[in-house]
Amino acid sequence: MSGDHGSSVISAHVREVEALLEERGLLDDGEIDRRIDEFAAGGSPANGARVVARAWVDPGFAERLLADANAALPEVGLSMSGGLQEQRLKVVANSATEHHVVVCTLCSCYPIALLGPSPSWYKSEAYRSRVVRDPRGVLREFGVELPAATRISVWDASAESRYMVVPRRPEGTEALSEDALAGLVSRKGLIGTALV
């Protein structure tokens, strides 16, 4: 962000507020940094892949996940709390007639606990602006060719809400274990920019 020093001014203000909270005994020294580090350390695309694999093998879990992801996640030992405030998670499932893709048009809101740190392209202005205008073209650039009849739904994340995609289960995987199925799922598939 060459020439834009707005973020450094904001950072200075945040540090001032943090120092005041520490001074007044409302926060321990470095508590915010520790909680952020703990939250980020637990985040991995493997978490999202585990959720998808469970949804593929357990229709009841899939139904609960799509109805209320925050309530279903503890069934696989996960949550969206991150230690500070629970983020709302909506999980959407691809089908033969509809494909979902996730973006945050304002910045880069993303379910770190389930997908790990966001990829650089997810944060790019090009992706954020183009995927809402031309999702089929952007998906094509990622190597995802969908039939013309397939509806594409774009989900816009925000500070309060995050999204994750359950890709379609590949044919011929009925004999695979849940762990093996999780190994088929990529971070791009959880965002909707790849098929499994």
Beta carbons of 193 and 119 less than 8 angstroms apart: no
- Collapsing DSSP to helix, strand or coil, 162 comes out as strand
DSSP string, 79-135: -S-TTT-PPEEEEEE--SSEEEEEE-SSS----HHHH-SPPHHHHSHHHHHHHHH-H
Catalytic residues: 104, 107-109
CA distance 40 to 114: 10
Q: State the maximum Cα–Cα separation within the chain, in Å, rounded to a whole number.
A: 60
